Amino acid sequence: MAKLKIGLIGLGTVGTGVYKTLQDINNVEIVKIAVKNINKPRSVNVPTTMMTDNPYEIVNDPSIDVVVELIGGVNPTWDYLETAIKNGKHIVTANKELLAKKGEELFNLAEKYNRVVLYEAAIAGGIPIIMPVKTILAGNKINKIQAILNGTTNYILTNMDVNGSSYDEVLKKSQELGYAETDPTGDVEGFDAAYKITTLATIAFKKRVKLENVYREGITKIRREDMKNANELGYKIKLIASATIDETNNADVRVHPMLVSKNNMLAHIDYVTNAVKIKGHPIGDIVLSGPGAGEFPTASSVVGDILAIASEFGRTDYMLPMMRCNHTEAANPVKIDDTFNKYYISITAPNAIGIIAKIGTICASKNISLSSIMQKEVSGDNNADIIVITESCQEKLIKEVVEELKDCTVNSLIRVAEG
């Protein structure tokens, strides 16, 4: 049997892992690799004759069957993939940003040219999630996802929790260790997780979710005091990517920090580990957890996609029908102000008689019930730290409460996860 010919765009951390892994697989052969700098020192010995600094040499090469794209971003990556598909090549990608921003266009193009686009590595690194949702869980009506999809932010939050460090201290350490980029914005402001949950919700709900309708909030405002308070109340703080859909097709998809009960398995997903919790019928609740990034974990997903194509290549005129996109209907987006959540509110207020009663009265005026309210220590300037946990209420009403707390300083407002 002829070997499946692979063109690899990108030989960074993941690309190197893919190259190493494929050396031991007989029915697949990498024939060309596109890199920025051919002469750059690398941990693998790749023949220079196999390398090019021009990706168009790969996407236009008639001998190549599958283009594996591992460079990320939208431009010029989109043009590479568009050209490859039009030239009859299948695609394997780990590009969560491109999928979130141009997924519909990409899958429509692939269907027009009868090509397959696989992207297991784009959502949760080494954790298998897309193929299970598309195949084993295909008979389920999935209506809720809660996930930790970014290892950098989870590493930062875990260190803040364990060591009592500030966000700035842990971020600096994370950058020194290579867990966080020099510019960490994509991770710490929630962009990376938002890209991933956009695609995952689309697949799981079988409805198109648009990135512009995904609410996003990062971890940069989380304080060490919040970590301490959360622990005392029986919670951990995690950056949660969540998505729910109701019977009328209303989809609430978002990324933001949450207080997660210590009884919830996600509270114990630490450091760079990722996890995806799915609720559906008839399966109930399941959790998939594992390494969400890294050379070999992500390469595992990439190679799995390559071998899925190899298993059917040349055997059928319509490959992998269950893995193709078949979403024609868009979900109705739910605005964050219209959502209902429980809230943790950290307030600094004058240590005066009646201040707690005032907070309670303002909440009551919005029909917001309080689950708990406690006053912490009084500082030297006679201000008190007050922690409030509300019952479930509408987001726009809790914002009105914050506006009316004029005599107080609201330090933190963090949503509380169910369960």
Catalytic residues: 196
The whole-angstrom separation of Cα 344 and Cα 25 is 52
Outline where DSSP puts E strands in 379-417. Answer: 383-390, 393-394, 409-416
What is d(CA 257, CA 138) in angstroms, rounded to the nearest whole number? 30
Contact (CB, 8 A) for 149 and 292: yes
Tokens of 119: 């992207």
| Tokens coding 259 | 């207080």
Q: Are 197 and 147 in contact (CB under 8 A)?
A: yes
Q: What does the DSSP 8-state code read for residue 247?
A: T
Rounded Cα distance between 399 and 113, Å, is: 49
Q: What DSSP character marks residue 216? A: E
Question: Vertex 238, ends 362 and 383: CA angle to 5°?
Answer: 40
404 Cβ contact list (under 8 Å, min separation 6): 362
Tell me the two tokens of residue 165. Answer: 């460090």
**CA gap 216, 196 in Å, rounded:** 12
Q: Which helix (H) or strand (E) holds 108?
A: helix 96-112
Write down the residue that tokens 């909030």 correspond to: 217
- Whole-number Å distance between alpha carbons of 292 and 104: 24
Per DSSP, the three-state class of 240 is: strand
The answer to whether residues 200 and 145 touch, using CB atoms and an 8 Å cutoff, is yes
- DSSP letter for 211, please: G
Q: Which value, in Å, is the radius of gyration of the alpha carbons in the chain?
A: 24
Distance CA 362, CA 373 (A): 13
How far is the C-alpha of 18 from the C-alpha of 299, rounded, in Å?
5
